[in-house]
Amino acid sequence: MILSDKRILEEIEKGTIVIEPFDRKYLGTNSYDVHLGKHLACYRNRVLDARIHNEVDHFEIPSDGYILQPGILYLGVTLEYTETHHHVPFLEGKSSTGRLGIDIHATAGKGDVGFCNNWTLEISCAQPVRIYAGMPIGQLIYFVVEGQIATLYNQKSSAKYNRRSQLPVESMMWKNDFMKP
């Protein structure tokens, strides 16, 4: 079940959903619009390795915008900091963003109950497109969880993305245990 606008507001009042900054005008019928923060990052190396820490270079989007290029993975970040304590948050692109040929995540659209941070975006584009800090970039929808949660994401010792950051965070795959085939 997806939360409605009224239910999202009720959960914000209870403190089970936190969105900072929050502005009622960005609340849709069953979602909340999030905006692109001013920071982007790109990996230093063209070839990435899942077993090592692939470093990134961070930069700010200029006030006159930044032109994304196809074939490059950009890491962006939402302007909004969010907390979700009782629901599963999903981040999806807005249709207007998609119609510009911009994808905001490769695979990481689902958050975990207990996720408390700005969202890192995995941005790619179909053709060159100018983007701006503060532009609407996606929408959060919230699903009801069935059953009790054993351990919230922000309480897991294995959680790799718990450190609060307004910068895009690179892949921490290298921290995972790799199974032997």
Residues in CB range of 151: below 8 A, 6 or more apart: 114
Report yes or no: 37 and 79 within 8 Å, Cβ to Cβ.
yes
Strands 74-84 and 39-43: antiparallel
CA distance 122 to 153: 20
Active site residue 122: yes
Number of C-beta neighbours around residue 52 at 10 A = 10
CA distance 92 to 139: 5
Q: Which of 60, 122, 146, 170 is catalytic?
A: 122
Catalytic residues: 122
